């Protein structure tokens, strides 16, 4: 039986350094009130112990709301937390190994930075792909060159799993990203650095709906 993939439409990736000094749990809960559907805990600076404590606080609040918590890179922390899944990059643990460790019911996501990465995605192990960066981004220091919308549309045709687009995405360009074929948009600073995280998330929800309407509209002419 295929694994059930949750609503990926507004996928928040956390970053305490971009959260304007606010408690990350408060930022995340505000985003969820605004409509964020998935939260990925990505903490590059803190210790494993700090990340574990933060993850427990998030999981305690998110699980009753039905919002999945995914851990970036660290399968060990995801297992220790009992998180809903893990997201791995091209330089991290292979997704097949992550799947074996996490078990059959966990969510496993894989970063795809271009067509050269496609052979690394086995749909038997991977539930969704994080594709990007679509646009230039300052949230990730080691980001690869931006793919653009045409390449996103091409990768959508080639990938056998749902895709979440990431990299430089805002409420202004999200409709075009969804219209190009993405199943969701993944953001960091667009929500974490917003003055009002709830309003920022709700703007993305509206943008996703607009993109779905554009995708469903027949081409002109």
Is residue 193 a known part of a binding site?
no
Q: Which listed residue (61, 140, 154, 156) is catalytic?
A: 140
The residues with which 38 forms a beta bridge, in sequence order, are 11
**Which residue's structure tokens are 């039905």?**
66
Is 134 within 8 Å of 177 (Cβ atoms)?
Answer: yes
Around Cβ 103, how many Cβ atoms within 10 Å? 9
Q: Which listed residue (16, 42, 74, 99) is catalytic?
A: 42
Is residue 195 a known part of a binding site?
no
Is residue 138 a known part of a binding site?
yes
Query: Which 3 state secondary structure label does DSSP give 110?
Result: strand
Kindly state the tokens that stand for 107: 């969510």
Is residue 188 a known part of a binding site?
yes
Q: Is 140 a catalytic residue?
A: yes
Query: Which 3 state secondary structure label does DSSP give 136?
Result: coil
Is residue 221 a known part of a binding site?
no
Is residue 189 a known part of a binding site?
yes
Distance CA 74, CA 79 (A): 9
Q: Is residue 137 within a helix (H) or strand (E), and if so which, with residue range?
A: none
Q: Is 47 a catalytic residue?
A: no
Is residue 111 a known part of a binding site?
yes
Q: Which listed residue (19, 111, 186, 202) is catalytic?
A: 111
Is residue 140 a known part of a binding site?
yes
Q: Is 111 a catalytic residue?
A: yes
Question: Which residues make up each annotated binding site for Mg(2+)?
Answer: 73, 92
**Binding-site residues from annotation:** 40-44, 72-73, 92, 111, 137-140, 168, 188-189
| Catalytic center residues | 42, 111, 140
């Amino acid at each position: 039986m295929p694994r059930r993939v949750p609503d990926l439409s507004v996928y928040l990736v956390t970053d305490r350094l971009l959260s304007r000094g606010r408690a990350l749990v408060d930022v995340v809960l505000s985003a969820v009130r605004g409509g964020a559907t998935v939260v990925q805990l990505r903490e590059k600076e803190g210790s494993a112990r700090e990340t574990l404590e933060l993850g427990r606080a998030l999981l305690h609040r998110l699980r009753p709301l039905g919002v999945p918590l995914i851990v970036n890179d660290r399968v060990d922390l995801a297992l220790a937390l009992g998180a809903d899944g893990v997201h791995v990059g091209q330089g991290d643990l292979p997704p097949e190994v992550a799947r074996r460790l996490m078990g059959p019911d966990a969510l496993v996501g894989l970063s795809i930075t271009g067509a050269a990465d496609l052979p690394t995605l086995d749909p038997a192990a991977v539930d969704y792909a994080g594709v990007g960066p679509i646009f230039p981004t300052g949230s990730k220091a080691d980001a690869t060159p931006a793919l653009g919308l045409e390449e996103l549309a091409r990768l959508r045709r080639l990938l056998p799993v749902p895709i979440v687009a990431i990299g430089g995405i805002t409420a202004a360009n999200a409709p075009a990203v969804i219209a190009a074929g993405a199943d969701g948009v993944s953001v960091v600073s667009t929500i974490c650095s917003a003055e009002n995280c709830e309003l920022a998330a709700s703007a993305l929800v509206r943008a996703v709906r607009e993109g779905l309407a554009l995708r469903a509209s027949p081409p002109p002419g």
